[in-house]
């Protein structure tokens, strides 16, 4: 029960990108297309799950003082492995994500979860937490890239990452003359992110108000009895 609640929180309410403002660099930089978003999201999920599991498995062996250095080394090794795999099997993804694959090492989400959760909980719990946070990240980058790609090119499209020539789907929703190319520039990235983050804050405030009203109603009922 608690696990499912944590999982659901990680998706929307405590979304690592829009709620906790972690992993901002990669979110803003790569969300120009759906391909990039899904590729990066999957890479981050992989690294999160594996790093959480490894760190949780060795948590009793690592002396407390040097845990941060050890975590950094583990995460760096995992990211290098993932980078080499991407370079080998999906080179198109590698050239479009560029330097942001190695920069997963310093993505605040991964080290943060490792220190906060994986160092204190079992292997299976940590893996599930990795999945939850990773899916939250994937949801965030996917929503940003859908908006940005749609408004800046008018087309929602995705190509097979393993085979660049194969187009999986391509829908033109906005005619070519009405595209706003601002959204592929830094200005558009910042604006989209700010609006989505404000949207999440508005949703959270709304939920808080409802809960407070319900609590006040329950209290006044009790007082009336």
Intra-chain end-to-end CA distance of the chain, in Å: 32
Closest CB to another protein among 187 and 216? 187
Judged by the rule CB under 8 A, the positions of this chain that interact with another protein are 19-22, 24-26, 28-29, 65-66, 68-69, 72-73, 76-77, 79-80, 83-84, 99, 102-103, 105-106, 108, 111-113, 115-116, 185-191, 193-195, 197-199, 201-202, 205
Note whether 37 and 137 are within 8 A (CB).
Answer: no
d(CA 55, CA 187): 38
d(CA 167, CA 107): 30
Minimum gap (Å) between residue 24 Cβ and another protein: 4
DSSP SS3 for 15: coil
Closest CB to another protein among 108 and 123? 108
Minimum gap (Å) between residue 170 Cβ and another protein: 27
Closest CB to another protein among 155 and 182? 182
Give, in order, the Cα–Cα distances in Å from 129 to each of 31, 148, 167, 173: 24, 29, 33, 36
Minimum gap (Å) between residue 100 Cβ and another protein: 9
């Amino acid at each position: 029960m608690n696990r499912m609640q944590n999982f659901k929180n990680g998706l929307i309410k405590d979304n690592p990108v829009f709620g906790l403002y972690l992993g901002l660099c990669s979110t803003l930089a790569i969300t120009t297309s759906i391909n990039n978003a899904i590729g990066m999201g999957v890479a981050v999920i992989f690294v999160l799950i594996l790093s959480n599991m490894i760190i949780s498995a060795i948590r009793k062996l690592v002396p407390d003082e040097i845990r941060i250095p050890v975590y950094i080394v583990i995460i760096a090794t995992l990211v290098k492995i993932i980078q080499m795999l991407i370079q080998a099997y999906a080179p198109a993804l590698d050239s479009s994500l560029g330097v942001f694959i190695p920069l997963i090492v310093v993505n605040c989400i991964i080290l943060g979860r490792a220190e906060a959760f994986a160092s204190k909980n079992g292997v299976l719990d940590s893996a599930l937490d990795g999945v939850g946070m990773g899916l939250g990240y994937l949801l965030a980058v996917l929503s940003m890239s859908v908006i940005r790609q749609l408004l800046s090119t008018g087309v929602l499209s995705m190509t097979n990452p393993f085979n660049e020539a194969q187009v999986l789907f391509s829908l033109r929703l906005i005619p070519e003359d009405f595209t706003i190319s601002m959204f592929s520039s830094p200005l558009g990235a910042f604006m989209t992110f700010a609006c989505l983050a404000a949207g999440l804050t508005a949703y959270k405030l709304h939920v808080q108000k409802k809960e407070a009203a319900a609590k006040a109603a329950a209290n006044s009922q009790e007082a009336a009895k």
